[in-house]
Amino acid sequence: MNLLEVSGVVAGYGETEILHGVSLAVEERQIVTVIGPNGSGKSTLLKSIFGLVPPQKGQVRFREEDITGMAPEKMVHKGLCYVPQSNNIFPSLSVNENLEMGAFIRTDDFHQRLEEVYRLLPDLAGRRRDNAGALSGGQRQMLALARALMLDPVLLLLDEPSAGLAPNLVNSVFEKILGINRAGVAIVLVEQNAREALGLSNWGYVLASGQNQLEDRGENLLKNPEVIKLYLGG
């Protein structure tokens, strides 16, 4: 049984159609990466899954339930979280306050979860009282991940988590993503750093012009001549 199934999704903005029948599947505890050129619909796909851009056609199923076009706040309750590429933290609040904001829908005592998240992302633990706006780019991305983890998600949708980071920080972000996955969280990862992302993925999809172009195991896509030529600098 798949954790997430996206079937033939058509979506866009106003009269502009971006996705033309895209499909994708994610099993429990998998990392699935979506790559493709700019404008291919990768971010729109994540937003369609999360209800931010309701699909015009097609279906999104999570744990066998039809969640097509469901409001994002309802999806969060079901264990699905989305981390956008930018504007994903509150820079005027402290690190700890950001994490508390991440637990906004919890009705239980979230402090145990707070400490679990700090253990998972120890770079933030020593800066819990610091203003989030003073963090480096890599630390801000860690904080965005940590905020999502406060809700104990089953599935994370991550949009370009390494975007704009210095090369020495990219590996650190991917290491944290792998650690989150090993803790039991499935991940759909949209990434421009195709080599790094596919290297840690169970499965990968290539989108082009809003359509499925290729799919295979991550390790196989890394060896695919077409992928090497177009996305890996080969």
pLDDT over threshold 80, residue 179:
yes
The whole-number pLDDT of residue 138 equals: 87
| % pLDDT > 90, the chain | 80
Nearest CA-CA partner of 83 in 167, 129, 151 = 151
Q: What is the pLDDT of residue 216?
A: 98
User: Which residue type sits at 122?
Assistant: P
**What tokens appear for 140 in the block?**
């801000």
Q: Report percent pLDDT > 70 for the chain.
A: 100
For residues 36 and 87, the answer to whether their CB atoms sit within 8 Å is no
Measured distance CA(161)–CA(141) in Å, rounded: 6
Query: How many angstroms separate the CA atoms of 80 and 73, rounded?
Result: 10
- Residue-level pLDDT at 137: 87
- Mean pLDDT for the stretch of residues 186-204: 95
Q: How far apart are the C-alpha atoms of 158 and 144, rounded to whole Å?
A: 10
- Altogether, the residues listed in the chain come to a count of 234
Mean pLDDT computed over every residue of the chain: 93
Q: What angle do CA 196, 34, 177 make, to 5 degrees?
A: 50
Mean per-residue pLDDT, 87-99: 94
Q: For residue 118, is pLDDT > 70?
A: yes
Please report the pLDDT score of residue 113 as a whole number: 93
Predicted confidence at residue 170, as pLDDT, reads 87
**Of residues 174, 175, 121, the one with CA closest to residue 148:** 121
Task: Say what the pLDDT of residue 165 is.
Answer: 84
Q: Where are the domains of the chain?
A: 30-53+70-231
| 200 pLDDT above the threshold of 90 | yes
Q: What is the pTM of this model?
A: 0.93
Structure tokens of 18?
A: 């971006």
The CATH architecture annotation of domain 30-53+70-231 reads 3-Layer(aba) Sandwich (3.40)
Task: Report pLDDT for 234.
Answer: 57
Q: Which H, E and C letters describe the chain, residue by residue?
A: CCCEEEEEEEEEECCEEEEEEEEEEECCCCEEEEECCCCCCHHHHHHHHCCCCCCCEEEEEECCEECCCCCHHHHHHHCEEEECCCCCCCCCCEHHHHHHHHCCCCCCCCHHHHHHHHHHCHHHHCCCCCEHHHCCHHHHHHHHHHHHHCCCCCEEEEECCCCCCCHHHHHHHHHHHHHHHHCCCEEEEECCCHHHHHHCCCEEEEEECCEEEEEEEHHHHCCCHHHHHHHCCC
